[in-house]
RNA sequence: GCGCGUAUAGCUCAGUGGUAGAGCGCUUCGUUGACAUCGAAGAGGUCCCAAGUUCGAUCCUUGGUACGCGCACCA
């Protein structure tokens, strides 16, 4: 006779049901948790994923770590609160919606700001919950009743009030400066939003009168307003402060006939110039290079713009006007060669600035933008970490943090986008540069006393609003309970972009650092060691893993590989191990239940049974040791180590030895011990593998049992 | 350029100043009572290289090499 097939544990049948059970219980919400006697807040902020995002391995790693901490603390009796939310992600979202409209043949500009924003909002309504749903699939026990969006009315109000606050304090100003301009997104970017890409290019040596200048960007030469040398450079000392006459490329006349023209250029001495580089002479092009702009400010040099906002040569470039920058470079080099001003061309490895969102070239351009003065705030942010009010784990990231803060420039906070928090700035219609800063629209202009001022078209940098994440949009009572939070777990690439800014914002507005610990987890890489990315085809979708192996197995697989804060070369075999392990727990339970008298029920407050038999004594001792080890590891954020300990105990001590012994020595004592160890194991495993443990727990013959999720640790 | 990290089994990684470990994979054997998503047994390692400290180094020190990452205004 054929043996009936046994059914292994099937996560698909269990997970959704269990998540609903948790949601229905309300214990994700600390208000409800309070009724169980929980008092001491333990708060984690979910780094708000972009509204455009969908769950990737980084999110999954981050969320699993946070969920382990939150579930552990909840079981330990803390008032555990995991506050989720979504970031409006200015540039990213605007791009997505623009693309979508373009496919339908709709142009953003034709549509107009108001209608475009309507489109973005409806896109948000449609997509805004996707990532929350994916986090739920992973088992994340966030307090969804407090789900925030960075453009919720209250959140937006807090953002605008922050702007007004800083402006009143004199920390926000408007100014014309050369800033990073993305020619595709058509907006300014902060220094932190610029990334660099290695590119082979050329270093051109060009004749400038008595000098030779080495540059990678000959096409910007029409915007030169000086030459700069190091004040210490003996070769050039005599020229400093003088005007020299040079021969250069003319911008007028026939494009086909390059010719020379004479012009005068001032020579300045500036310490920013490295005498060792190139020829030691720098052409100062204030409009198209940020360093050059700074030099121009120190020496009071004029700014001549020759490239426009589309990345094309502008009027200042004369006959080259309208050419794309790359084209112009080729042509200018050709022309310089033709008139014997190009000395040589050397291959050169160069790092080109690109937009962190769209990856296209950044063009430094002069533009009127809003800036935040950073010197004082940076000092505050550094102090907090120096004094260990906030501890960054691992410690070596502190170095980068400090070096960023020590060399910081003012933060460009305005963006030329439509999607975001529109600046609470109102311009007088009769005086271009006069404005009023106010959250509400002023009824009458206080400058000209006549007009109805018009709001600035700009919006704020997304990171300006994310900087307020630890408290913005929360009501007063919640702020009191949930600020400051406990641990922030996040990826290393946003330490400065986000974490540092949250720290000084927290001090500015709440007088306390927003979190005592920042845990920087590793990065999950492809097995090849490459970065996981969709475009490289190296990405792994955690949802595929969940569908194939179950959420518990996926979490197991991630945590199994998370040893401390090391990067992870992703290996799916760990998820396979996780699936086997969930099944092992499932089957061990079936065995234990078979050992127990069917009519017997246990008190939910199970006491440690007395053991006389050696193997029973032994397993109880091993359990205690494992508990201690797991507890210690979780406290130290060593999630992988904790999971390995539990695995070793459950599989190799409990199942391989203890259960086998029990087969040959059945007794009342043994079954009591087996049952006790099982229940304790479920508790230990729950933060790591919440679904299967809860499902089993619910099936146990326990009187007055509640949820494993809130079972006392 | 400066800073940081990593190098241990076929793969992904733990670990320890004194016989080297796990998961996955592989080999052989084992299916009538928890589990074949299993059990038992096993193969598989110059612990990157060199020097130093030490009675003893995979571990500590120094110097290399390789790979990865971060920062910077070298035009």
Q: What is the pLDDT of residues A362-374, one digit of tens each?
A: 999 999 999 999 9
Q: Mean pLDDT across the stretch A14-21? A: 96
Mean per-residue pLDDT of chain A: 92
Q: How confident is the model at residue A476 (pLDDT cuts 50, 70, 90)?
A: very high
Which domain CATH number covers A79?
3.40.50.620
- Name the closest nucleotide to A201, judged by C1' and CA: B75
pLDDT, position A5: 52
The residues of A between 399 and 418 with beta carbon within 7 Å of nucleic strand B are 399-400, 403-404, 407, 409
Subset of residues 24-63 in chain A with CB less than 7 angstroms from any atom in strand B? none
Closest nt by CA–C1' to A640: B14
CATH code at A662? 1.10.730.10
Per-residue confidence (pLDDT) for residue A547, from 0 to 100: 96
Same domain flag for A203 and A350: yes
| Residue A541 confidence (pLDDT) above 70 | yes
A159 in a domain, yes or no?
no
Most confident of A23-32, A222-231, A302-311, A355-364: A23-32
Which of A244-248, A273-277, A477-481 has the largest mean confidence?
Answer: A477-481
Q: Helix or strand or coil: residue A300? A: coil
Residues A127, A49: contact at Cβ < 8 Å? no
* A95, A73 Cβ separation under 8 angstroms: no
d(CA A83, CA A85): 7
Nucleotides of B under 7 A from a protein CB: 3-6, 11-15, 22-25, 32-40, 67-75
Residue A377 covered by a domain: no
Largest CA-CA distance found in chain A, in angstroms, rounded: 105
Distance between CA atoms of A480 and A482, rounded to whole angstroms?
A: 6
Domain's final residue, options A364, A390, A417? A364
- What's the pLDDT score for residue A1? 35
- Going by pLDDT thresholds of 50, 70 and 90, the confidence category of residue A551 is very high
A161 belongs to a structural domain: no
Nucleotide with C1' nearest the A654 CA: B34
Q: What does the pLDDT look like over A151-204, one tens digit per residue? A: 999 999 999 999 999 999 999 999 999 999 998 889 999 988 888 888 778 889
Cα separation, A212 vs A344, in Å, equals 10
* A569 sits within 7 Å of strand B by its CB: yes
pLDDT tens-digit map of A436-468: 999 999 988 888 888 899 999 999 999 999 999
pLDDT at position A145 is 97
A566 beta carbon < 7 A from strand B?
yes
Which nt is closest to the CA of A577, judged by C1'? B23
Q: Are residues A577 and A545 in the same domain?
A: no
> Across-strand partners of A180?
A189, A364
Residues A217, A225: Cα–Cα separation, whole Å: 15
| pLDDT computed for residue A3 by the predictor | 44
- Grouping H, G, I as helix, E, B as strand and the rest as coil, residue A277 is coil
Rounded CA-CA distance A6/A8 in Å is: 6
CB atoms within 10 A of CB A296: 25
Residues A311 and A198 in one domain: yes
pLDDT tens string A617-664: 999 999 999 999 999 999 999 999 999 999 999 999 999 999 999 988
Which DSSP string do the residues of A50-75 spell out, in sequence order? BTT----HHHHHHHHHHHHHHHHHHH
Which residues have C-beta within 8 Å of that of residue A286, sequence separation ≥ 6? A178, A223, A225, A292, A293, A295, A296, A301, A302, A303, A304, A366
The C1' atom of B38 and the CA atom of A327 lie apart, in whole Å, by: 68
Residue A271 lies in a domain: yes
Tokens of A351: 């790092």
**Residue A178 backbone dihedrals phi, psi, to 5 degrees:** -80, 120
- Look at residue A182 and tell me if it is in a domain: no
Asked if the model's pLDDT at residue A6 lies above 90, the reply is no
Instruction: Give per-residue pLDDT as tens, A367-409.
Output: 999 999 999 999 999 999 999 999 999 998 998 899 999 889 8
> Does residue A529 reach within 7 angstroms of strand B, measured from its CB?
yes
Same domain, A46 and A139: yes
pLDDT at A65: 97
ipTM > 0.90 for the complex? yes
Report the C-alpha gap between A281 and A274 in whole angstroms: 8
Number of CB atoms found within 10 A of residue A40's CB: 11
First to last CA, chain A: 46
Using CB atoms within 10 Å of the CB of residue A597, give its burial: 0 to 12 exposed, 13 to 18 middle, 19+ buried. exposed
One domain, residues A134 and A235: no
Measured CA to CA in angstroms, residue A111 lies from A183, A420, A423 at distances of: 21, 17, 21
When pLDDT is averaged across residues A508-521 and rounded to a whole number, the result is: 96
Q: How far is the CA of A71 from the C1' of B12 (A)?
A: 28
Closest to A22 in 3D by CA, of A694, A713, A697, A700: A694
Nucleotide lying nearest to A656, CA to C1' measure: B39
Q: Does the nearest atom of strand B lie within 7 Å of A548's Cβ?
A: no
Of the candidates A333, A364, A395, which is a domain's last residue?
A364
Instruction: Find, among A91, A96, A285, A107, the residue nearest to A194 by Cα.
Output: A91
Is the residue at A632 inside a domain? yes
Residue A448: predicted pLDDT: 86
Q: Residue A278 has what pLDDT?
A: 83
Can you tell me which residue has its alpha carbon closest to the C1' of nucleotide B12? A571
- How many Å apart are A646 CA and B12 C1'? 20
- Measuring CA to CA, which residue among A411, A384, A429 is closest to residue A166? A411
Q: Are residues A596 and A644 in the same domain?
A: yes
Whether the CB of A175 is less than 7 Å away from nucleic strand B comes out as no
Are residue A257 and residue A120 in the same domain, yes or no?
A: no
Query: Where does the pLDDT of residue A252 fall: very low under 50, low under 70, confident under 90, or very high at 90 and above?
Result: confident
Give the number of domains in chain A.
3
Q: Which of residues 311-340 of A touch strand B (CB under 7 A)?
A: none
State residue A283's pLDDT score. Answer: 94
For residue A543, tell me if it sits in a domain: yes
Q: What is the pLDDT of residue A4?
A: 44
Tell me if A302 is assigned to some domain: yes
Would you place residue A27 in the very low, low, confident or very high pLDDT band (cuts 50, 70, 90)? very high
* Distance, CA of A535 to C1' of B26, in Å: 34
Domain boundary among A330, A364, A398: A364
Position A209 scores a pLDDT of 86
- Rounded to whole angstroms, the distance from the CA of residue A397 to the C1' of nucleotide B54 is 34
Using the structure, give the distance in angstroms from the CA atom of A569 to the C1' atom of B42, rounded to a whole number. 29
Which 684-713 residues of chain A approach strand B with CB closer than 7 Å? none
Beta strands in A121-238 (DSSP E): 148-149, 172-182, 187-189, 194-208, 211-215, 226-229
Percent of chain A topping pLDDT 70: 99
Enclosing domain of residue A699:
572-710
User: How far, in Å, is the CA of A557 from the C1' of nucleotide B59?
Assistant: 28
């Amino acid at each position: 006779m054929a043996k009936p097939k046994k059914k292994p544990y099937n996560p698909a049948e269990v997970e959704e049901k269990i998540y609903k059970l948790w949601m229905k219980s309300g214990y994700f919400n600390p208000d409800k948790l309070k009724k169980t006697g929980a008092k001491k807040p333990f708060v984690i902020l979910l780094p708000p994923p972009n509204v455009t995002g969908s769950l990737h391995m980084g999110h999954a790693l981050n969320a699993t770590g946070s969920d382990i901490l939150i579930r552990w603390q909840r079981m330990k009796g803390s008032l555990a609160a995991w506050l989720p939310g979504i970031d409006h992600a200015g540039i990213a979202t605007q791009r997505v919606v623009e693309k979508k409209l373009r496919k339908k043949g709709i142009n953003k500009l034709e549509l107009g700001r108001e209608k475009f924003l309507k489109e973005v909002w409806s896109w948000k309504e449609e997509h805004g919950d996707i990532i929350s749903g994916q986090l739920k699939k992973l088992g994340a026990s966030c307090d969804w009743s407090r789900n925030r969006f960075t453009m919720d009315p209250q959140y937006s109000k807090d953002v605008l009030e922050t702007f007004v606050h800083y402006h009143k304090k004199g920390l926000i100003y408007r100014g014309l400066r050369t800033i990073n301009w993305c020619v595709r997104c058509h907006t300014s970017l902060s220094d932190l939003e610029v990334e660099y890409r290695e590119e082979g290019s050329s270093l051109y040596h060009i004749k400038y009168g008595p000098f030779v200048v080495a540059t990678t960007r000959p096409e910007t030469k029409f915007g030169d307003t000086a030459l700069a040398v190091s004040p210490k450079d003996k070769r050039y000392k005599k020229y400093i402060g003088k005007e020299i006459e040079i021969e250069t490329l003319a911008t007028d006349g026939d494009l086909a006939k390059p010719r020379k023209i004479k012009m005068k250029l001032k020579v300045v001495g500036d310490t920013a110039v490295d005498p060792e580089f190139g020829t030691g002479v720098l052409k100062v092009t204030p409009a198209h290079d940020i360093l050059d702009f700074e030099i121009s400010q120190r020496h009071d040099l004029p700014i001549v713009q020759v490239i426009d906002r589309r990345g094309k040569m502008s009027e200042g470039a004369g006959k080259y006007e309208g050419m794309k920058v790359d084209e112009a470079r080729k042509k200018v080099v050709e022309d310089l060669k033709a008139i014997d001003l190009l000395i040589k061309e050397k291959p050169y490895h160069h790092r080109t600035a690109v937009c962190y969102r769209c990856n296209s070239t950044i063009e430094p351009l002069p533009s009127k933008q809003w800036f935040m003065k950073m010197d004082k705030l940076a000092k505050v942010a550094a102090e907090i970490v120096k004094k260990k009010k906030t501890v960054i784990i691992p410690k070596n990231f502190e170095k980068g943090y400090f070096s960023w803060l020590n060399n910081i420039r003012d933060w460009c906070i305005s963006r030329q986008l439509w999607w975001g928090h529109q600046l609470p700035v109102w311009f007088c219609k009769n005086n271009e540069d006069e404005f009023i800063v106010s959250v509400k629209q002023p009824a009458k202009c206080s400058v000209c006393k006549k007009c109805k001022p018009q709001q600035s078209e700009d919006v704020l940098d997304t990171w300006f609003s994310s900087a307020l994440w630890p408290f913005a949009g929360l009501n007063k009572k919640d702020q009191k309970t949930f600020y400051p939070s406990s641990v922030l777990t996040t990826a290393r690439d946003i330490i400065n972009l986000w974490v540092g800014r949250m720290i000084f914002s927290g001090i500015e507005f709440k007088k306390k650092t927003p979190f005592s610990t920042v845990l920087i987890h590793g990065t999950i890489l492809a097995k090849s060691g490459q970065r996981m990315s969709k475009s490289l085809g190296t990405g792994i979708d955690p949802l595929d893993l969940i569908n194939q192996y179950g959420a518990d197995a996926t979490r197991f697989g991630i945590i199994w590989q998370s040893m401390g804060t090391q990067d992870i070369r992703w290996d799916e075999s760990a998820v396979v191990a996780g699936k086997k392990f969930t099944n092992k727990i499932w089957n061990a339970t079936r065995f234990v239940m078979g050992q127990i008298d069917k009519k017997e029920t246990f008190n939910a407050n199970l006491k440690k049974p007395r053991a006389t038999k050696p193997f029973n004594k032994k397993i109880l001792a091993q359990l205690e040791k494992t508990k201690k080890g797991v507890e210690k590891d979780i406290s130290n954020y060593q999630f992988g180590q904790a999971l390995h300990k539990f695995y070793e105990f459950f599989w190799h001590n409990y199942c391989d030895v203890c259960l086998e012994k029990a087969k040959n020595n059945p007794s009342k004592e043994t079954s009591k011990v087996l049952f006790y160890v099982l229940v304790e194991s479920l508790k230990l495993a729950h933060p790591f593998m919440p679904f299967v443990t809860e499902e089993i727990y619910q099936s146990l013959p326990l009187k007055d049992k509640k949820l494993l999720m809130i079972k006392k640790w």
